[in-house]
């Protein structure tokens, strides 16, 4: 049974001891009979623990958290686990294990003046995007066109044309589902490098789906018309990258 | 608190049968009720949440023959009524034992051991590294990407991740949490296997 919006919104104040006796009883009764609401409670509990260790709770919430929330051994274990996870992910980010967007080949060939100017433009763009992002915080993931690609030995020499995709005017971007070849390296993530006809390339983090399928999203603003080629890199837990054999390509019309 | 009910196998079977005529379903419902009672007691601040949940179940079991005949509705809600009485008794007991601690019907305040708030989590960290290596690559990648980044970047990043996976943001949130639970269970098992200093 899907919890109602009201029930979901009450979970956090319930966990922080902010509900009246009547509201608390109501939510507890529902928790006993509604499996999805109970899972929502567990998720919110973990999120509160993360907020506590990242010092994101308000002062009164923090006090309540320490005096009541941490009263049981189970929650004390949860706190220690959350600390370990937080530290691990932070360290992984510092060691660059986590895939992040990078622009390697393009920037290395530009002059200092060009890079400085571009940096200023980028800062302005980030501020603008951040402002727009704040305005659209509540919006759901947007409208994406989807393309299926197979990464393998190029078929272009055999006369097979690359897949073509036409991006609707209102699309937020392109979601590419890539079928990748088997790999010897167990991957914790993937990096997909997309290069356009001008030789500009950009990297994107990708998610593994089931089997040998991975998914990457390219924002519409970063897609160039014409032929685009795709390379895929598997990333191991130690941060080592392995280029997967073969290429993919597609044409943006 | 500990009334030491002596339960018979017959009473326990009656309880399961009341929950569901199908033994497998009854077992699942029993576990679900127990897990949720423990959680509710823990949220109310009871350090002995498991014991109190078991006490609640014992009391219901002892009365199940008469209750099952007359009660209509979801049995889980009957447990809740009994749980409230048990919680009240627990509150009285705690307030008698720790006179300096304020107790109300909502929650029971207890001090937290200093080591809980301490920063040393090296054993957990070591076990986490091991457990992450045991996860399926797709799940490992998802959990690491889901929990990375900060503030607005994190919100945008999660939207992007949800789109990549072709699922809604809330579904991603639940999926990441389920992997987190698997990881945490693995870490707890790993910690139990470590030698005590």
Q: What is the DSSP string of B22-47?
A: SHHHHHHHHHHHHHHHHHHHHHTT-T
Alpha-carbon distance of A12 to A51, in angstroms, equals 12
Contact: B166, A93; criterion CB under 8 Å = no
Q: Least CA distance to A175: which residue of chain B?
A: B164
Q: Quick one: pLDDT band at residue B118, thresholds 50, 70, 90?
A: low
Alpha carbon of residue A126 to chain centroid: 18
- Asked whether residue B40 carries a pLDDT value surpassing 60, the answer given is yes
Q: How big is chain B by its Cα radius of gyration, in Å? A: 22
Structural contact between residues B139 and A118, judged by C-beta atoms closer than 8 angstroms = no
Contact: A32, B168; criterion CB under 8 Å = no
Alpha-carbon distance of A220 to A172, in angstroms, equals 5
- Asked whether residue B66 carries a pLDDT value surpassing 70, the answer given is yes
Q: In Å, how far is A177's CA from the nearest CA of chain B? A: 8
In this structure, the number of other CB atoms found within 10 A of the CB of residue B136 comes to 13
Q: Considering CB atoms only, which of B112, B119, B148 is closest to A93?
A: B148
- ipTM, two decimals, is 0.85
* Average pLDDT value over all residues in chain B: 84
Lookup: tokens for A195: 């290069």
Alpha-carbon distance of A35 to A45, in angstroms, equals 15
Structural contact between residues A149 and A178, judged by C-beta atoms closer than 8 angstroms = yes
- With a CB cutoff of 8 Å and minimum separation 6, the contacts of B84 are A25
* C-alpha closest to that of A49 among A100, A83, A19: A83
Distances (CA, A) of B34 to B4, B37, B91, B113: 18, 5, 20, 26
Structural contact between residues B41 and B53, judged by C-beta atoms closer than 8 angstroms = yes
pLDDT mean over B114-142: 84
Residue B156 contacts A, CB cutoff 8 Å: yes
Q: Least CA distance to A23: which residue of chain B?
A: B106
Tell me what pLDDT residue B108 has: 46
pLDDT mean over B111-132: 77
Tell me what pLDDT residue B82 has: 96
Alpha-carbon distance of A17 to B107, in angstroms, equals 8
Contact: B117, A78; criterion CB under 8 Å = no
Structural contact between residues B129 and B144, judged by C-beta atoms closer than 8 angstroms = no
Tell me what pLDDT residue B135 has: 92
Biggest CA-to-CA distance, chain A: 73
Structural contact between residues A134 and A219, judged by C-beta atoms closer than 8 angstroms = no
Alpha-carbon distance of A209 to A207, in angstroms, equals 6
Which tens digit of pLDDT belongs to each residue from B13-33? 999 999 999 999 999 999 999
Q: Quick one: pLDDT band at residue B150, thresholds 50, 70, 90?
A: low
**According to the 3-state scheme, what is the secondary structure of A3-31?**
CCHHHHHHHHHHHCCCCCHHHHHHHHHHH
Tell me what pLDDT residue B3 has: 55
Distances (CA, A) of A198 to A117, A216, A225: 20, 21, 10
pLDDT mean over B42-56: 90
Size of chain B in residues:
197
- With a CB cutoff of 8 Å and minimum separation 6, the contacts of B158 are B146, B169, B172, B173
Tell me what pLDDT residue B31 has: 94
Contact: A93, B149; criterion CB under 8 Å = yes
Q: Which residues from B are below 8 Å from A54, CB to CB?
A: 150
Q: Is the dihedral of CA A154, A157, A159, A165 positive or negative?
A: positive
Higher per-residue confidence, A126 vs B94: B94
Q: In Å, how far is A209's CA from the nearest CA of chain B? A: 7
Residue B43 contacts A, CB cutoff 8 Å: yes
Contact: B125, A87; criterion CB under 8 Å = yes
Tell me what pLDDT residue A48 has: 95
Structural contact between residues B27 and B16, judged by C-beta atoms closer than 8 angstroms = yes
Structural contact between residues A196 and A105, judged by C-beta atoms closer than 8 angstroms = no
Q: Is the dihedral of CA A42, A11, A87, B197 positive or negative?
A: negative
**Torsion angle of C-alpha atoms A137, A143, A144, A145, degrees rounded to 10:** -170
The answer to whether the pTM exceeds 0.80 is: no
* C-alpha closest to that of A44 among B43, B187, B47: B43
- Asked whether residue B2 carries a pLDDT value surpassing 70, the answer given is no
Distances (CA, A) of A84 to A62, B7, B11, B112, B121: 20, 42, 44, 19, 6
- Asked whether residue B68 carries a pLDDT value surpassing 50, the answer given is yes
Q: In chain A, which residues have pLDDT < 50?
A: 99-109, 134, 136-140, 155
Structural contact between residues A45 and A74, judged by C-beta atoms closer than 8 angstroms = no
Tell me what pLDDT residue A7 has: 86
**Bridge partner list, A229:** A195, A249
Alpha-carbon distance of B159 to A140, in angstroms, equals 8
Tell me what pLDDT residue A214 has: 85
Q: Least CA distance to B163: which residue of chain A?
A: A141
pLDDT mean over B111-131: 77
- Asked whether residue B52 carries a pLDDT value surpassing 80, the answer given is yes
Tell me what pLDDT residue B100 has: 40
Higher per-residue confidence, B104 vs B159: B159
Residue B33 contacts A, CB cutoff 8 Å: yes
């Amino acid at each position: 049974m899907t919890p109602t919006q009201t029930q979901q919104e009450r979970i956090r104040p319930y966990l922080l001891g902010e509900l009246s006796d009547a509201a608390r009883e109501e939510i507890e009764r529902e928790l006993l009979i509604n499996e999805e609401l109970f899972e929502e409670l567990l998720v919110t509990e973990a999120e509160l623990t993360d907020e506590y260790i990242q010092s994101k709770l308000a002062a009164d919430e923090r006090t309540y958290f320490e005096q009541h929330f941490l009263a049981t051994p189970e929650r004390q274990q949860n706190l220690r686990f959350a600390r370990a996870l937080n530290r691990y992910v932070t360290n992984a980010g510092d060691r660059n294990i986590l895939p992040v967007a990078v622009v390697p080949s393009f920037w290395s060939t530009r002059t200092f003046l060009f890079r400085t100017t571009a940096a200023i433009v980028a800062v302005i763009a980030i501020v603008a995007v951040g402002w727009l992002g704040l305005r659209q915080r509540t919006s759901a993931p947007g409208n994406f066109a989807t393309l299926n690609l197979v990464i393998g030995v190029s078929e272009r020499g055999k006369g097979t044309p690359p897949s073509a995709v036409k991006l609707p005017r209102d699309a937020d971007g392109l979601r590419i589902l890539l079928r990748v070849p088997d790999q010897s390296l167990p991957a914790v993530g993937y990096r997909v490098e997309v290069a356009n006809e001008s030789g500009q390339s950009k990297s994107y983090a990708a998610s593994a789906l089931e089997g040998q399928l991975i998914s990457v999203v390219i924002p519409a603003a970063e897609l160039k018309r014409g032929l685009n080629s795709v390379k895929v890199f598997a990333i191991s837990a130690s941060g080592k990258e392995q280029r997967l054999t073969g290429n993919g390509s597609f044409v943006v019309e | 608190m500990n009334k030491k009910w002596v339960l018979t196998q017959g009473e326990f079977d009656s309880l399961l049968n009341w929950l569901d005529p199908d033994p497998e379903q009854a077992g699942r419902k029993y576990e679900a009720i127990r897990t949720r009672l423990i959680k509710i007691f823990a949220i109310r601040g009871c350090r002995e949440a498991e014991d109190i949940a078991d006490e609640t179940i014992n009391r219901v079991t002892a009365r199940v023959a008469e209750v099952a005949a007359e009660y209509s509705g979801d049995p889980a809600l009957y447990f809740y009524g009994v749980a409230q009485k048990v919680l009240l008794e627990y509150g009285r007991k705690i307030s008698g034992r720790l006179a300096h601690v304020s107790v109300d019907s909502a929650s029971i305040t207890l001090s937290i051991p200093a080591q809980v708030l301490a920063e040393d989590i090296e054993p957990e960290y070591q076990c986490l590294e091991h457990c992450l290596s045991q996860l399926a690559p797709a799940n490992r990648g998802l959990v690491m990407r889901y929990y990375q980044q900060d503030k607005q970047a994190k919100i945008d990043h999660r939207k992007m991740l949800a789109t990549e996976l072709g699922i809604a943001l809330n579904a991603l949130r639940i999926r990441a949490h389920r992997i987190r639970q698997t990881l945490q269970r693995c870490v707890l098992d790993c910690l139990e296997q470590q030698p005590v200093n």
